[in-house]
Amino acid sequence: MTDRKSLSPEPHPVEPCPVRHWARVAPDRIALHGAPHPDSTLGYRQLDARLNALCQQLEQAGLQAGDRLAAVVRGALEDVLLAWACVRTGLVFCPLNPAFPVARQAELARQLDVAACWSAGEIPTGPWQALRLDFTAEREMDEEPVWLVPARLNNMILTSGSSGTPKAVVHRLANHLASARGSAAVIPLDAECGWLLSLPLFHVGGYAILFRVFLAGAALVLDDRSRPLRERLEQQPITHLSLVPTQLWRLLAEGFDPAQTRLRELLLGGAAIPQPLVNRLSAMGLVPKVSYGLSEMGSQVCTGRPSTAGVVGKALPGREVCIQQGEICVRGDTLFAGYFNAGGLERPLDEAGWFHTRDKGHFTVDGELVVEGRLDNLFISGGENIQPETIEQRLVDHPAVAQALVVPVPSDEWGQRPAAFIDWHGEPVPPAELAAWIRQTLPGFMVPDQWHPWPDLGGHLKPQRRQYQHILKAQ
């Protein structure tokens, strides 16, 4: 069932802006640790003053609540200020990836039908207002609360589906507030905490960090990729960190020691979690957490401690999860408003209001969710269903393997067979050893027929399966 709705918000209670709240009750508390200079900081009163001035500029530009604003952002100070100014003014924040060429940015801005566009670099040209903004201006607050309307549409985040066609995922402000509050139940934050904004704002995982931090009155630590991550963790007040396993392996190879940092919480995601990595980190006194989330649910759905392969914990408060014919389905307070299409919202839910994720999974006897992989990735070999993520998880549990990715290749005899790309910690081990390792826990038909070295795809931390298939086709 696809529910099509207009973009007009429904009546809803208001709640105070957390930045203004902390500016009133704890004005000197650090809100932002800036980059590239670690001593460049903003307290909550100063952050509020910057936001006041920025909101005034947006209003003077003629923008009104409900207007869509495209912003080419990653996670710089200006990006964060503009994102939260949109929260305050009711503008719909439409972040665009700065890695895209300007022509592509313009194409996406047209798809989103934006009223205005901002970029620190070249502003895409089109039928919208090009914004010039002063992010250093400050305007003192009037001591009154700033009221937010949770029912308002808040953002449109572009995500690529399995087809590669971008979808504009639309959230209401209420979705992000519920997401942050549910996250805090298992990943607590307080005034002494600093969360590194290591994920970009054009990704829902990065955008969600703003809400977690500001609701808690904690500090947001802006990313500074000009300095090694280990150095930043040792020198900056970073207590909370989100990483993919590859980043953590690199940190450990550089001599990373959690005892030399202020780290309290490390959230792992984005790929199969290697058990040797978990064991090594836990032995150093830092037990990581794993998470399952998706853009349509405003980031985190489940979070827990890594145990057996694929376990991602239980649903956080405000979320529900069920399994229908092997598929993970979700709903709850964080569920998106819909996909933006032709000026309206399309919300593809079933009769009971569940969103079907196309992820395969099941529950443990303890009620924890196990994510087995994408249903879209499943392929058939000689009549047997093969979930490539199952093979990948087994491979990364081998002490010599840092990363693994499995894709199907055509076979005259079997229809399709698995081929594996391996990123090694050091010296490669023979394929026969990896084959024997797989056979210890998985059936023989899951042993790859081909073994390939990990290709260099420009340092992307989350490899795209389609790219790897294209590499094999080109050989």
Q: Which of 122, 201, 119 is nearest to 156 (CA)?
A: 201
Q: What is the pLDDT of residue 163?
A: 45
Angle in degrees, 0-180, between the axes of helices 204-216 and 173-183, rounded to the nearest 10: 70
CB 398 within 8 A of CB 404: no
* Residues β-bridged to residue 3: 347
**Residue 160: its pLDDT value, please?**
65
What is the model's pLDDT at position 249?
Answer: 84
CA distance linking residue 240 with residue 222, whole number of Å: 12
The Cα 369–Cα 302 span in angstroms is 8
Among 14, 55, 48, 83, smallest CA distance to 217 is for 48
Q: What is the set of domains in the chain, with CATH numbers?
A: 2-372 (3.40.50.12780), 378-474 (3.30.300.30)
CA gap 15, 50 in Å, rounded: 21
pLDDT at 162: 45
Question: Cβ distance 241 to 196 under 8 Å?
Answer: yes
How far is residue 370's CA from residue 144's CA, in Å, rounded to a whole number?
Answer: 47
User: Looking at residue 39, what is its pLDDT?
Assistant: 53
Contacts of 310 (CB under 8 A, 6+ apart): 272, 361, 370, 371, 372, 389, 393
Residue whose C-alpha is closest to residue 43's, from 21, 18, 26: 26
Per-residue pLDDT of the chain (475 residues; tens, 9 = 90+): 455 444 544 456 899 999 999 999 999 999 999 865 555 789 999 999 999 999 999 999 999 999 999 999 999 999 999 999 999 999 999 999 998 899 999 999 999 999 999 999 999 999 999 999 999 999 998 778 999 999 999 999 998 654 456 899 999 999 999 999 999 999 999 999 999 998 899 999 999 999 999 999 999 999 988 888 899 999 999 999 988 887 888 888 888 999 999 999 999 876 678 888 888 888 999 999 999 999 999 999 999 988 877 889 999 999 999 999 999 999 999 999 999 998 899 999 999 999 999 999 999 999 999 998 888 888 989 888 899 999 999 999 999 998 899 999 988 888 889 999 999 988 999 999 999 999 998 989 999 999 999 887 665 556 677 777 778 777 7
Element at 235 (helix H, strand E) = helix 229-235
